[in-house]
Amino acid sequence: MIRAFILAAAMTLVTTTAGFSAEPIVGNWKTASGETAAIASCGGGYCITLKTGKHAGKHIGSMNGSGDSYRGEITDPANDKTYSGSASIEGSSLKMQGCVLKILCKSQTWSRM
């Protein structure tokens, strides 16, 4: 009985600790156009893939960073143009920004699902 209790407590600790180790950017996000985008760890950074909509399954970005600030590339799935990008997290919102020559920029705010 004591052994089962210790095992259960250890499993709870491992599960709780693992939940805190994921970066805030990891997860599913509702894009400005209503699709679902999944952000997951990949190759030492984070990959963004559309999960729903016309371009479902398409890789649309790569980011590096931690906490609430990330940098990388974002691809517009409609025209396949890639831009230098950034992402910042505030609460359950993810502000994505893509820029051409760091002068012409567009932003979108995504919501955590």
Structure tokens at 20: 């805190």
* Residue 12 pLDDT greater than 90, yes or no: no
Domains recognised in the chain with CATH numbers: 2-112 (2.40.128.520)
* pLDDT higher than 50, residue 15: no
Other beta carbons within 10 Å of 76: 13
Q: What are phi and psi of 89, to 5 degrees?
A: -110, 135
Residues near 46 by Cβ (< 8 Å), separated by ≥ 6? 23, 25, 26, 39, 40, 62, 63, 64, 70, 72
Give the whole-number percent of the chain exceeding pLDDT 90.
75
The verdict on pTM exceeding 0.85 is no
Residue 11 has pLDDT above 60, yes or no: no
- Beta strand 104-112 with 93-100 is antiparallel
pLDDT digits (tens, 9 = 90+) for 59-106: 999 999 999 999 999 999 999 999 999 999 999 999 999 999 878 999
